[in-house]
Amino acid sequence: MEQAGPGLEKVVADSLRRLPPTEAPLIAWPLVCGSAVAERTQAVSFAGGVLTIEVSDAGWKRELQALAPRYVATINRYVGQRVQRVEFVLRGEVRQR
């Protein structure tokens, strides 16, 4: 998540934890990845512990795969320990799982 004060982080985490477990990671994605990445990606599904993110091209996919462990750790800090991994797919490659 981009820099936020501890009070704001608590408010965000509390709000995300009130969402249905299947929706919270999708809503958290743009907050966790930041605005530059959020403009080029879209969280499309969350099932079986896997958060699927569509990316616009193979270059972005490679770059983001290297950051996946960091994204998982940050998401789980806000929504709980439900996300096991983030999977990046090219736009249109995979829809709902």
Is 23 inside any structural domain? yes
User: Nearest 5 degrees, angle CA 95-CA 51-CA 28?
Assistant: 115
Q: Per this entry, what is the length of the chain? A: 97
φ, ψ for residue 43 (rounded to 5)? -75, 125
Give the H or E element holding residue 56. Answer: none
Is 60 inside any structural domain? yes
Quick one: pLDDT at residue 52?
97
pLDDT of the chain, 97 residues: tens digit per residue = 455 577 777 887 888 888 888 899 999 999 999 999 999 999 999 999 999 999 999 999 999 999 999 999 999 988 976 899 999 999 987 654 4
Say which residue the tokens 């991994």 belong to: 85
Q: What is the CATH number of the domain that holds 13?
A: 3.30.300.180
The whole-angstrom separation of Cα 16 and Cα 62 is 28
Is 1 inside any structural domain? no
Is 95 inside any structural domain? no
Say which residue the tokens 């969280």 belong to: 43
Quick one: pLDDT at residue 3?
56
pTM for this entry: 0.84
Is 51 inside any structural domain? yes
